Amino acid sequence: MIVLDSHCDTPSQVVRLRDLGRRSRLGHIDFPKLREGGVDACFFALYTSQSKPQEIALPYVHKMLSATKEAIAACDYVSQAYTVADVYNNKAKGLISIFFGMENGMPIGKSIANLEELFAQGVRYLTLTHNGDNQIADSASQGTTWNGLSPFGEEVVARMNQLGMIVDLAHASDKTFYDALSASETPIVSTHSCCRALASHRRNLDDKMLRALADKGGVIQINFYPAFLDDGFNASFSANPLSDEADAVEEKFIEDPADASRRQAWDQMQERLLELPRPSYKRVVDHIDHAVNVAGIEAVGIGSDFDGIVVPPEGLENASKIPVLFDELRRRGYNEDAVEKIAGGNFLRVLSDVENFASKTL
């Protein structure tokens, strides 16, 4: 079985001075935790905020990419992966595969050449938007600029198909979702989303979207963030003063991660957040169950959003705990073939389809 997590925001933590080679006390992802959790492959997302100007955002992407590649090179049991074949070859050698994705297309500006350069560096999916519309498409958070995919966004999707880069629609508006689904000649994914039928957050996919995604051969990778899993948690956390307090403490830490007092304050805040009542890992499996029932067993996987979420589910605090999901699936009657598809097989099939399409267009 290949276990693949399609979305972790770990590169941003690397530039905040996390040593991935050592087991961190509070971080969701590091190489020891991936190994403890039996994770065979992981997509590290190069995330940039919509608030950064493009001329600052693109160099920041390259800074994250360079720093994370250095961390990979320094560890003898991880290796950067570029293809599906790399995952199987690395597993045979006892290596964990680290892929790169890019979250938010804004940093490429209006340059297809920037997209091509990132692909050459190993970026294998692009999340078209983040929390704001950009030059490519409308986002779930805003959704007012293009009424979906922009004309340039259509060029981006076409070039991604040709390169062999997966189109990711996590964070996209509903209209962008359907526009991209129509424009792409290869299967698309939502690398870290949940089911709107179980939690009404705008980032989640409704049943019609789940079926459309499956009909295209794509997958939804279920997110672990309690606010996407459960409306009750989302409402209570949004109203909790701790939410704004946590944002302020984290922002000060990000400004100067080498400052010991700011790091300590952020560590203490994370401990306070972990004291909040949270949905358990079983709620993640509820969303997996729903997506399977609506879209089919071929259309579902896991995309934790670790290192990008404020707080994880109870019992699923970091990557070392991921096996609890598969145990729960088995307890609910899923056979091994089904568990293997959800664990990583479905996403690898999409990546293979995208690779094969690109090879025919060269």
pLDDT band at 361 (very low <50, low <70, confident <90, very high): confident
State the chain's mean pLDDT as an integer. Answer: 96
pLDDT band at 59 (very low <50, low <70, confident <90, very high): very high
Give residue-wise pLDDT tens across range 7-52: 999 999 999 999 999 999 999 999 999 999 999 999 999 999 988 8
Model pLDDT, residue 98:
98
135 with 126: CB under 8 angstroms? no
3-state DSSP of 240-254:
CHHHHHHHHHHHHHH
How far, in Å, are 21, 38, 49, 272, 303 from residue 161 at the CA level? 34, 31, 25, 44, 22
Residue extents of the structural domains in the chain: 4-240+280-361, 243-275
Model pLDDT, residue 50:
87
Q: What is the average pLDDT across 66-74?
A: 98
How far, in Å, are 224, 342, 348 from residue 285 at the CA level? 10, 11, 20
Rounded to an integer, what distance in angstroms lies between the CA atom of residue 180 and that of residue 177?
5
Q: Mark residue 333 as left, alpha or beta (left: phi above 0; alpha: psi -120 to 50; beta: remaining).
A: left
Q: Which of 291, 287, 289 is nearest to 331 (CA)?
A: 289
The dihedrals phi and psi of 160, each to the nearest 5 degrees, come to -60, -45
Q: What is the average pLDDT across 56-81?
A: 97
Percent of the chain surpassing pLDDT 90: 97
Give residue-wise pLDDT tens across range 110-160: 999 999 999 999 999 999 999 999 999 999 999 899 999 999 999 999 999
CATH topology of domain 4-240+280-361: TIM Barrel (3.20.20)
- Residue 336: count other Cβ atoms within 10 Å of its Cβ: 12
pLDDT band at 107 (very low <50, low <70, confident <90, very high): very high
Rounded to an integer, what distance in angstroms lies between the CA atom of residue 56 and that of residue 53?
5
